[in-house]
Amino acid sequence: MKTYLFLICVFLQSALNIQAQTDPNIFDKFESKFYTIDGYNINVEVLGEGDPIFFLPGGPGNSHDYMQGAFGQYYKSNQVIFFDWLGRGKSDDAKDNSEYSVKNDVAMIEALRKILKLDKISIVGHSYGTVPAQAYAIKYKDRADKLVLINGFHSGAMWQANCDSYNHYAKTHFPEKWQVVDSLRSLGYLSSEEPLKTVYGNFPIKYIYYHDTKLTSKTPKTDYRGWSGDVYTTIIGPDGDFDVSGSMINQDYRRQLKAVKAKTLIVAGRYDGVSTPEFAIQYKTFMPQAQFEMFEQSGHNPYLEEPEKFYRIFEEFMGIK
């Protein structure tokens, strides 16, 4: 995932009668409550009644807001839980960056489940959010009810393929810019270091994440941290846009996915330059019990690009009427 992924976490107005995209006040309906977990204040926003659903954002480094914008309307039918992991959004920063890890993100889901006194939970993860979602469903088989994986990753190897795909596109479509990248790489700069960080972050990334590049952004009225580079660099690695390391590289769920008990929906986008179809369709083999849906006119965000189809399938799968 690119360091500046937060720039493309957006949603648009549409003619559909979908609350997330027609209600300009969806963010105002939620209030922050801070829970102390392992000595840190963690921002949690809960609304509604009914079967609980946890929504996990991507990055790693994003705050909860774009998921709340896309799925906040389901407070009408369910108890919806949005939160900021350690070091993200409104939550505290870690005292030591080594505390940012996939393992600790999974542990926080379980800690919140206990704090909220919930028995079983459904989990909806997007992009990086699918990584701790899968890990949770594998580790806590009897606590995960339903699982929705939106444009996700089954392994560190798949994340590396994401980087390779992005870099190939950038190199072949923007060769003038890539010459600068090459020159800085030859001098030993890592993707998290300046000036390479800025040069690399200035590529027109919408073409990688969206099939429809005309999407416009919409964010909460109150400004707060939407992205944490420290979290991204720690979990993906200091040179993570080229050579994945950190705790992400050791994640590999492929041989364990068949044992997941949670009813699962897997969503992929035909034009996704990040979670590429080449790897996304492998879920059909690794998790044959899951419902797999390919969105033929979407990139990395099908809920934005094909909202009518996406929300219909999502609501049918979740049993939302």
Q: pLDDT tier at 211 (50, 70, 90 boundaries)?
A: confident
Query: Residue 144 corresponds to which amino acid?
Result: A
Asked whether residue 75 is assigned to any structural domain, the reply reads: yes
> Which residues contact residue 222 at a Cβ distance below 8 angstroms, ignoring those fewer than 6 apart?
27
pLDDT tens digits along 119-142: 999 999 999 999 999 999 999 999
**Reported confidence tier of residue 249, pLDDT bands at 50, 70, 90:** very high
Residue 200 lies in a domain: no
Lowest-confidence pick of 76-80, 110-114, 134-138, 219-223: 219-223
How far is residue 261's CA from residue 138's CA, in Å, rounded to a whole number? 8
Distance CA 319, CA 135 (A): 24
| Rounded Cα distance, 208 and 39, in Å | 39
- Segment 45-68, tens digit of pLDDT: 999 999 999 999 999 999 999 999
DSSP string, 54-83: EEE--TTTB-SHHHHHHHGGGGGTSEEEEE
Percent of the chain whose predicted confidence (pLDDT) is above 70: 89
N residues, the chain:
321
Q: Over 60: is that where the pLDDT of 17 sits?
A: no
- pLDDT > 90: what percent of the chain? 81
Mean of pLDDT values over 245-262: 97
- CATH number of the domain where residue 275 is located: 3.40.50.1820
Of 25-34, 221-230, 231-240, which gets the smallest average pLDDT? 221-230
CA dist 277 and 291 (Å) reads 16
Half-sphere CA count of 200, side-chain side, radius 13 A: 27
Residue of 228, 215, 210, 205 whose CA lies nearest to 64: 228
CB 227 within 8 A of CB 4: yes
Full residue range of the structural domain in which residue 67 is found: 5-168+205-318
List, for residues 182-202, the tens digit of each pLDDT value. 999 999 999 999 999 999 988
Cβ contacts of residue 5 below 8 Å, gap of 6+? 58, 59, 61, 62, 127, 209, 227
Element spanning 156, H or E: helix 156-173
Q: According to DSSP H, which parts of the chain are helical? A: 19-22, 65-71, 102-115, 130-139, 156-173, 175-186, 196-201, 206-209, 229-236, 277-280, 283-286, 302-305, 307-318
**Number of separate domains in the chain:** 1
Average pLDDT over residues 281-310: 97
Contact assessment for residue 123 and residue 136, using Cβ atoms and an 8 Å cutoff: yes
Confidence band, pLDDT 50/70/90 cuts, at residue 72: very high
The reply to whether 188 falls in a domain is no
Task: Inform me whether the pLDDT recorded for 15 exceeds 60.
Answer: no
Rounded to the nearest 10°, the torsion over CA 300, 302, 292, 125 is 70
Domain assignment present for residue 164? The answer is yes
A 10 A CB-CB count for 85 gives 26
pLDDT of amino acid 216? 58
